[in-house]
Amino acid sequence: MPRDSLDDLDTKLLAFARDRDWEQFHSPKNLSMALAGEAGELLEHFQWLSEEQSANLDADRKDLVALEMADILIYLVRLAQRLDIDLIDAAYRKLDINQARYPAGQVRGDARRAEEYERE
């Protein structure tokens, strides 16, 4: 069975950091800052666009956005590696929690409930 793409990425990112002796900077605290910094850069691409414009990026902008998202994924995978967290498992656990908390029949199209979802 092929290894999963996130596992492969994790292996390559760890080698990248070790080859440069940069693991010393990669405490979970520091990685959380780097991740949030990249999330801030992502925001900057969208902040003056309307929602509709944000869904219709030109090719150049879309590529820049893809690389910002890559940075976020890279730090997320690095952080998971440092804390020995299985990201995919955590995502499915969170999805199960959300499915129990927001039954489809009760929250359909309801922005308020969608928002509560965020406040957890």
Residues 52-91 touching its own copies, rule: CB under 8 A, are 52, 54-55, 57, 62, 65-67, 69-74, 76-77, 79-80, 82-83, 85-88, 90-91
Question: Closest distance between its own copies and the C-beta of residue 104, in Å?
Answer: 4
Single-letter residue type at 64: L
Question: Closest distance between its own copies and the C-beta of residue 32, in Å?
Answer: 5
- The correct pick among 11, 14, 29, 58 for binding its own copies (CB under 8 A) is 29
81 and 10 Cβ atoms separated by less than 8 Å: yes
Single-letter residue type at 70: A
| Subset of residues 3 to 22 that bind its own copies, contact rule: CB under 8 A | 4-6, 9, 12-13, 16, 19-22
Question: Closest distance between its own copies and the C-beta of residue 109, in Å?
Answer: 4
**What DSSP character marks residue 56?**
S
Rg of the chain over Cα atoms, rounded to whole angstroms, equals: 18
Q: Report how far residue 79's alpha carbon sits from residue 10's, in angstroms, rounded to the nearest whole number.
A: 10
Phi, psi of 38, rounded to the nearest 5 degrees: -70, -35
Question: Closest distance between its own copies and the C-beta of residue 81, in Å?
Answer: 11
